[in-house]
Amino acid sequence: DTAVSQTPKYLVTQMGNDKSIKCEQNLGHDTMYWYKQDSKKFLKIMFSYNNKELIINETVPNRFSPKSPDKAHLNLHINSLELGDSAVYFCASSQGTQFEQYFGPGTRLTVT
Amino acid sequence: KQEVTQIPAALSVPEGENLVLNCSFTDSAIYNLQWFRQDPGKGLTSLLLIQSSQREQTSGRLNASLDKSSGRSTLYIAASQPGDSATYLCAPAGGATNKLIFGTGTLLAVQP
């Protein structure tokens, strides 16, 4: 019974490629998030959707584009991948913006 | 801009000890604060959520306190066990979108 799941778990790709990471939650939550954890293990929010509406859009290159087809899914598409995009990307969800966030297992992206 | 500091950065204790992890934040206008643990190569597991109106929250051997006015939270772990070994992260949430701002974490090692 996975609450927040992400695919793929690992992603190795070359510079310049375009890739997507998918996230699904079965908790019935209405808010979903993307976080990036860099090589120094620092976690920072990238985007958040509430009821399919973008509510947080941090200073992220416009090569990153989130998409929320419905409340249970939030995907992250990255164009023209760069070496600096290598990181672990975490998806999370919560009920509203005021309550506990639950995290997925992460997707380790390596750009070569 | 919210900045979150966690002290100590690393801690190694023998099994059975009681220990305290500290978190300080610069902007006291928070809505809540969440404590997480992260095991190596894994996602984040939510431990406790304290609302800004609460002073403390308990779950099993864990107790978290919050002093919003002074910008501090502590996580108390009683009778530590080797299975408690992980990185502990604190994340206050604030602003209209209630986004989490993460600290740098405390790496805990409990020796058997």
pLDDT in tens, A10-54: 999 999 999 999 999 999 999 999 999 998 889 999 999 998 889
Cβ pair B89, B102 in contact under 8 A? yes
Can you give the pLDDT of all 112 residues of chain B as single tens digits? Answer: 889 999 999 999 999 999 999 999 999 889 899 999 999 888 899 999 999 999 999 999 999 999 999 999 999 999 999 999 999 999 999 877 778 999 989 999 999 9
Contacts of A87 in chain B (CB under 8 A): none
Contacts of A98 in chain B (CB under 8 A): 31-32, 93, 98
List the one residue out of B85, B65, B42 whose CA is nearest residue A41: B42
- Cα angle value B27/A31/A78 (rounded, 5°): 90
Cβ pair B104, B46 in contact under 8 A? no
Provide the shortest C-alpha distance from residue B79 to chain A (in Å): 26
Q: What does the DSSP 8-state code read for residue A59?
A: S
Task: Supply the DSSP string of chain B, one letter for each residue.
Answer: ---EEEE-SEEEEETT--EEEEEEES---EEEEEEEEE-TTS-EEEEEEEETT-SEEEETTEEEEEETTTTEEEEEE-S--GGG-EEEEEEEEETTTTEE-----EEEEEE-
**How long is chain A?**
112
How distant is the alpha carbon of residue B67 from its chain centre?
Answer: 13
Q: Please name the member of B32, B36, B97 whose beta carbon is closest to the beta carbon of A56.
A: B97
Helix (H) or strand (E) holding A91: strand A87-94
